[in-house]
Amino acid sequence: MKSSEWHVETRQSSKTESPSSRDSENAHETGSLSIVILGASGDLAKKKTFPALFHLYEQGFLPRNEVCIFGYARTKITDDELKNRLHGYLVPGKDSSSEQLEEVSKFLHLLVLRFANRLFVPQWNRDNIANVQIVFREDFGTEGRGGYFDQYGIIRDIIQNHLLQVFCLVAMEKPVSLKAEHIRDEKVKVLESVLPIKDDEVVLGQYEGYRDDATVPDDSNTPTFATIILRVNNERWDGVPFILKAGKALNSRKADIRVQFKDVPGDIFKCKRQERNEFVIRLQPSEAMYMKLIVKKPGLDMEIVESELDLSYRQRYQGVTIPEAYERLILDTIRGDQQHFVRRDELKASWEIFTPLLHQIDEGEFKPIPYKPGTRGPAEADKLLLEKAGYVQTPSYKWIPPTL
């Protein structure tokens, strides 16, 4: 299928129709469907929304005979101009998941991992887990979007929504079923169990050069980096710090969940090493799950080294298309599946966690620490992990994604 066969118009639809004869278990949707994209001339629509719809159509998840997509934007733009803008982004057969660095919730994978494996069920609690990190790192800055970003900052833009959704899935109790309401019930419960954030368990940063953007105020107090410790007041997680970390202009691009287990009691090996077992879910790029283990290096000497059990998705599931987050969410919307969407009480609970801190920042009571682009962020953030969260670093270890 060529992209020119895909019908897109830049005009307002007078009527929005729902797909008829819909079967959520069947890839082939029937009936007619009209979709209106607000902000059709924007960067998000160009890079994410239109490509996601195109890939759904290409794979047969949208009605083949009658699907119309209407774009609405404040910018004056013709059909031909819009098609020219989208031309390089609507590529048949392209797997865009490796480029997706703005959504970090692989909801169903986390759910299956936690609740379908006997190995993890008895371990997933304060008796075994020392701390949990949920990390989102970008190696680029605001790139001309400084004026927009400055209205929100890294907490509103990334932590309050994306990382908090991942936090819910890591920390929530087992739902009664996979029905949307049952999953959302458990997410609300864990959010309502989060204690108020302490000032000394927050580190904010702003990369040097951020204010050089002409659209950013010279005295901007907006953080481009944040490390925040959340504490959950319930039986499962009492005493376990959850570290939410996000930043721009850092030294790498990645999003992962890092569960660090407690030390093994009674060390008989006397190896004077500080490594701990860690279970890591790499959300992007190079989607993978791996467990860091302490093993004996082959040979006659008793040398202890750190290695891993590795499930890298692209190696294990070759030829399988990994859908982008926007594809999943748009398809769920069409099907009426709400399990990946935020309910009103969940939204209220999530904002209650961060609103006091956000007010402090907006009023200038909390100042971000300058950091150089291309670094890990403020050094104070690493100090916070060591002193307040009890995180044990292993700088000598580096996970290397396997090659195909």
Secondary structure in 3-state letters for 122-146: CCCCCCCEEEEEEEEECCCCCCCCH
Residue 162 phi/psi, 5-degree rounding, is -65, -55
For the chain, helix (H) and strand (E) counts, in that order, are 12, 12
Distances (CA, A) of 388 to 126, 153, 160, 384: 16, 24, 21, 5
**End-to-end CA distance of the chain, in Å?**
28
Distances (CA, A) of 111 to 57, 175, 187, 241, 271: 27, 10, 12, 21, 36
Spatial separation of the C-alpha atoms in residues 245 and 382, rounded to whole Å: 11
In order of their start, the domains of the chain are 3-94 (3.40.50.720), 108-387 (3.30.360.10)
**Where do the H-state alpha helices sit in 26-163?**
43-44, 50-58, 79-86, 107-115, 146-149, 153-154
The residues pairing with 306 across neighbouring beta strands, listed in sequence order, are 294
Q: 162, 182, 340, 359: which is the annotated catalytic residue?
A: 162
Residue 160 phi/psi, 5-degree rounding, is -65, -30
At residue 219, the pLDDT reads 93
Spatial separation of the C-alpha atoms in residues 269 and 255, rounded to whole Å: 34
Instruction: For residue 5, give the DSSP letter.
Output: G
Kindly give the interhelix angle for 164-171 and 180-192, rounded to the nearest 10 degrees. 100
Nearby residues of 254 by Cβ (< 8 Å), 6 or more positions away: 135, 136, 137, 282, 284, 285
Residue with tokens 């989102």: 136
Regions of the chain short of the pLDDT cut 70: 1-31, 93-105, 107-109, 270-274, 404
Indicate the residue type of 40: A
At residue 8, the pLDDT reads 52
Spatial separation of the C-alpha atoms in residues 219 and 101, rounded to whole Å: 29
Told to judge if 109 belongs to the known catalytic residues of this protein, a careful annotator would answer no
Kindly give the interhelix angle for 325-335 and 50-58, rounded to the nearest 10 degrees. 70
Q: Is the pTM of this model over 0.85?
A: no
Chain CA centroid to CA 171, Å: 15
